[in-house]
Amino acid sequence: MRATRKQQDYPTDHFFNRELSLLRFQRRVLAQAADKQVPLLERLRFLCIVSSNLDEFFEIRVSGIKEQIRLGSRSAGSDGLAPTELLERVSDEVHSIISEQYELLNDDILPALEAEGISFLRRGEWTEAQVNWIREYFQREVSPVLTPIGLDPAHPFPRVLNKSLNFAIELEGRDAFGRDSGAAIVQAPRALPRVIRLPRDICQHEYSFVFLSSVLHAHVDQLFSGMNVLGCYQFRVTRNSDLFVDEEEVKDLRASLKGELQQRHFGDAVRLEVADTCSEKMEAFLLQHFMLGRRDLYRTPGIVNLVRLMQVPDWVARPDLSYPSFLPGIPKGLEKKRDVFAAIRKQDILLHHPFQSFNPVIQLLRAAADDPQVLAIKMTVYRTGTDSVLMEHLARAAQKGKEVTVVLELMARFDEEANITLANRLEEVGVHVVYGVFGYKTHAKMLMFVRREEGQLRRYVHLGTGNYHPRTTRFYTDFGLLTCNEEIGEDVAEVFKQLTGLGTATTLRHLWQAPFTLQSNVVEGIKAEAAAAAAGRKSRIMAKMNALLEPETIEALYAASQAGVSIDLIIRGPCALKPGVPGLSDNIRVRSIVGRFLEHHRIFYFYADGKEELYLSSADWMDRNFFRRIEVAFPILDPRIKRRVIREGLRAYIADNVQTWEMLMDGRYRRKSSRGTRRSAQALLLSDLAGAS
């Protein structure tokens, strides 16, 4: 039975809009690209991240707004903005962001890169040797895989893949069959690289690149022999990529999802990007074809997809233009111990990624696969990567006769296909693969081992705030806890039982679990601090997460602020709460940290009359995490580790004056001044926990 909650109406002026708040986060990322204190190649990477983020924003968030409008919905969110008004404001904001983005690229970053010997050559700059090499490259690598399509009754407009690179061609003249449609479409196959490095011996700079779009523009006339090419314009369409599976009709989730995935690339168009050289006639034609309005059109003074540049920093061997490399540290409890199980029995172990290595988790799974005393392994998987070493160890454990169960979330957005493939591989070797509870995404991060020791069974557990993804643990800040605490082990076992079997929810001793108790316990924790403050006792709330949007929780924070509770919130992305509003949220401060690593851990701290209750979680304070997902928040019981989490995960960030953005009461963000001693939380943690490479 799906968990329910009572809907309540709160004043709309208490909340910021989620989509507009998320776009403000993109501006903070863009500010990293503009910051000359950031290494140059990393500035380019941040610029690309903005484009990648905007792609997903249109695929999911904007497509959702458009769907509301299509269905005639006039209902507003908690902030009171109706869908039509919201879409207009989103369009205005994104147009502004993109304008600033390309101005930064063309006027700052590209010239700075060229000064460092890294150039992106325009067609008018090609030397004769470069022209000859590019012509040969086009004839050898590009032309054979292109299929130009002239538009006429026998050749309708081709299906355009989501986010693919395409060219609209304006033509003049008649072909061999007497046809004169005046237009053609050329689709760039996905197999072709979008950025091509030229040989060093024909270039002035060590690193010289050309774009595939430039190569095609230079030779497009070869695709239409005897015709006069009037114009060649890049364009790109972003489509609705949200998947829908009807839980009332579906019989086999994996089979139904496969069918949906085939259509994802061809969902309804939500955005059209064109080069700013595109003619008005062609713009109008494309907008009409994709059934889009002028607000959905985004003209770009340069390549239409900056995500293409994301790999360039990895291709350029210039350490002086990148962040310094480092080796993740190893916790003291594991430095010399070969027996990971013995180390965990001795004491709980905290891992702080990426400053500390994820390898202990991999080593633990490897040891469990080979250990004859380990009888069973259970694990939740949300995102793990296509070739995860963790999955290989799980498969080996199953092949060795252990009971291995994986709760795999098939609906992990944009990882659905990879997770289906993974499910097939694991099932082939005898792993029990289940998909959790239909209608609720399994987002909790849990790994449990059952081991026979001295005639008894003991549970070892890893709980985390981030995914079991070895790659992202090098770029995301997350906590992981290794423990064999008996009561926590029992709680984790109970959650796994819910996910794989049937039965009513039982009371857990330590874990807060969504969709049953997580939100109510968070609200109760906030209310307890408010009661303490009202009674004149010391109170304090600190929390760190990706997003804060759930109205009841926000209202509880407002009430706590009014009671006198000091509240510090570190919210990386969208935040619907309004801080510092007189009479409403005077005592609430909201910060956003944007730096080298993606801030990802979720930490909930309540002073609790000196007990200092501290929970780590995979859940943000959002409706979906509280009510439509399987999530857990787990307590830190060891005083030593509790002090570490407070110091490393909260106070270091509150003290940060380098990468901190302070949220103002009107929703704007102001970068915190770094006068005096510069304190960067991420730099401090690298210094304290990691080593030089």
**Active site members:** 443
In 3-state terms, what secondary structure has residue 604?
strand
**Gap between the Cα atoms of 409 and 611, Å rounded:** 36
Handedness of CA 547, 89, 551, 564 (dihedral sign): positive
Phi-psi region of 291 (alpha: psi -120 to 50; beta: other; left: phi over 0): left
The enclosing H or E element of 422 equals: helix 416-428
C-alpha to C-alpha distances, 93 to 24, 80, 246, 445, 492, nearest whole angstrom: 9, 18, 34, 35, 44
- Whole-angstrom distance, CA of residue 530 vs CA of residue 186: 63
d(CA 486, CA 348): 12
Tell me the HSE value of 295 on the side-chain side, using a 13 A CA sphere. Answer: 14
Give dist(CA 619, CA 637) in Å, integer: 19
The continuous run of DSSP H or E covering 346 comes out as helix 340-346
How far lies 204's CA from each of 44, 85, 105, 506, in Å?
21, 51, 21, 70
State the burial class of residue 169 (Cβ atoms within 10 Å of its Cβ: 0-12, 13-18, 19+): buried
| Other CB atoms within 10 Å distance of the CB of residue 569 | 22
Q: Residues near 651 by Cβ (< 8 Å), separated by ≥ 6? A: none
Other C-beta atoms closer than 10 Å to the C-beta of 387 total 11
Give the residue from 264, 354, 234, 293 showing the smallest Cα distance to 66. Answer: 293
Residues near 546 by beta carbon (within 8 Å), at least 6 away in sequence? 571, 572, 573, 599, 600, 602, 620
Q: How far is CA 170 from CA 74, 186, 232, 692, in A?
A: 41, 11, 7, 55
Contact 219, 138 (CB under 8 A): yes
Which three-class secondary structure state does DSSP give residue 349? strand
Q: Looking up tokens 């926590």, which residue turns up? A: 488
Q: Are 508 and 517 in contact (CB under 8 A)?
A: yes
Collapsed DSSP state (helix, strand, coil) of residue 183: strand
Of the candidates 278, 160, 144, 127, the one whose C-alpha atom is nearest the C-alpha of residue 222 is 144
